[in-house]
């Protein structure tokens, strides 16, 4: 009740101030102070022009100061096209911005209140309506067409030699899974999720393809090699954001989504290019997903093939971690080799 009264008091105060202002305006007119108001308008008109000039100078200065320094060069081959589309969009909207702002302030100055000048009203103009409807429609259609072109490229079938990484979002971190030597991920199902049994994403251990899969806390990629992300969610809608690669994709429960790209620079190279020894590629959640959304950030490491192979060789298979009594935690890279030795022994 007290909150309602407080709001009511604020509204009443606003109404009183508004009425006093209107009364003062009428009194000024009756006293012959119209000339003073016109002089004030002229001063305001010149101030608007000054604001326009200083504003445009400020826009140019900020653009020159920050151009290319927010995200830097795209770290993926596909991101280059996205950057081009952004620059084209900025160029078009920038021209429109400058024209409309100059017109706005120029009209405010030119058509200010003057003695003997009255406003002219017209309710309809076909020519103007066609111009401000057709031209923006054509420009937006062209931009959307180019955007769809890049979208279809990123979500199309990845090259045959592309690596595969599965990214599953959950409140509030990312679960990363890699296929083993067979290059294929095993089946999974939501009803099989059991964090207590080291099965946070519901992998079907009865599927032979899942035996050599492994999970990690970081995303490791090979520079210059295409990679396909298979994206999903364990609970609510998340969004895989890859700002340095200029990519993002929703993680939807029950509906896997995919995208693919080719990293251009290793993490080490990006540290040198940016001059930041603490630089890391990141995978962020770009969809508000709950109270811990702010902390949903993962690290991506882009490295050479040799470094990647050495890292993989140290990773234990998830199956061996979930079944410690059945098999030792052997590196994922050796899973296929071990099975081959077993088969050979049985033949002998």
Q: Tell me the torsion sign for CA atoms 197, 201, 204, 207.
A: negative
Reply yes or no: is the peptide bond before residue 172 cis, omega within 30 of 0: yes
Other Cβ atoms closer than 10 A to 265: 20
Q: Residue 264 has what pLDDT?
A: 95
Give pLDDT tens digits for 25-78.
666 665 556 666 777 777 888 888 888 999 999 988 888 888 777 777 899 999
Give pLDDT tens digits for 197-206.
888 999 999 9
Is the predicted pLDDT of residue 175 greater than 90, yes or no? yes
Find the mean pLDDT for residues 127-144.
Answer: 91
Nearest 5°: phi and psi at 242?
Answer: -125, 75
Find the mean pLDDT for residues 216-221.
Answer: 94
Q: Residue 337 has what pLDDT?
A: 47
What's the pTM value of the predicted model, to 2 decimals?
Answer: 0.74
Q: Tell me the torsion sign for CA atoms 272, 273, 279, 283.
A: negative
Please check whether residue 269 is in contact with residue 315, taking contact to mean a CB–CB distance below 8 angstroms. Answer: no
Q: Which CATH architecture has domain 163-342?
A: Sandwich (2.60)
Q: How far apart (Å, rounded) are the C-alpha atoms in residues 203 and 186?
A: 7
Give pLDDT tens digits for 242-294.
999 999 999 999 899 999 999 999 999 999 988 889 999 999 999 999 999 99
Find the mean pLDDT for residues 320-324.
Answer: 85
DSSP secondary structure code for residue 199 in this structure: B
């Amino acid at each position: 009740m007290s909150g309602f009264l407080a709001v009511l008091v604020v509204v009443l105060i606003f109404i009183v101030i508004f009425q006093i202002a209107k009364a003062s305006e009428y009194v000024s007119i009756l006293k012959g102070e119209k000339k003073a108001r016109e002089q004030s308008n002229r001063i305001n008109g010149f101030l608007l022009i000054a604001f326009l000039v200083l504003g445009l100078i400020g826009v140019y200065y900020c653009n020159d100061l920050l151009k290319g320094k927010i995200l830097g060069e795209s770290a993926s081959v596909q991101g280059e096209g996205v950057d081009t589309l952004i620059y084209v969009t900025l160029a078009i909207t920038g021209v429109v911005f400058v024209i409309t702002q100059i017109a706005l302030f120029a009209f405010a100055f030119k058509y200010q209140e003057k003695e003997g000048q009255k406003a002219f009203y017209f309710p309809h103009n076909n020519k103007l309506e066609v111009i401000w409807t057709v031209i923006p429609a054509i420009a937006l259609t062209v931009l959307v067409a180019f955007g769809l072109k890049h979208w279809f490229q990123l979500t199309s079938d990845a090259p045959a030699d592309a690596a595969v990484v599965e990214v599953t979002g959950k409140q509030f971190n990312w679960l990363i899974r890699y296929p083993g030597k067979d290059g294929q991920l095993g089946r999974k199902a939501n009803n099989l999720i059991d964090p207590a049994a080291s099965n946070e994403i519901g992998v079907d251990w009865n599927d032979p393809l899942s035996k050599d899969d492994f999970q990690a806390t970081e995303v490791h990629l090979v520079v210059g090699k295409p990679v396909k992300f298979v994206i999903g969610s364990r609970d609510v809608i998340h969004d895989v954001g890859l700002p340095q690669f200029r990519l993002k994709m929703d993680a939807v429960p029950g509906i896997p989504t995919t995208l693919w790209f080719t990293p251009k620079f290793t993490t080490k190279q990006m540290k040198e290019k940016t001059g930041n020894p603490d630089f890391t590629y990141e995978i962020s959640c770009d969809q508000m997903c709950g109270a811990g959304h702010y902390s949903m950030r993962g690290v991506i490491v882009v490295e050479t093939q040799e470094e990647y192979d050495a890292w993989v060789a140290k990773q234990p298979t998830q199956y061996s971690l979930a079944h410690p009594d059945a098999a030792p935690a052997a590196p994922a890279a050796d899973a296929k080799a071990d099975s081959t030795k077993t088969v050979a022994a049985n033949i002998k």
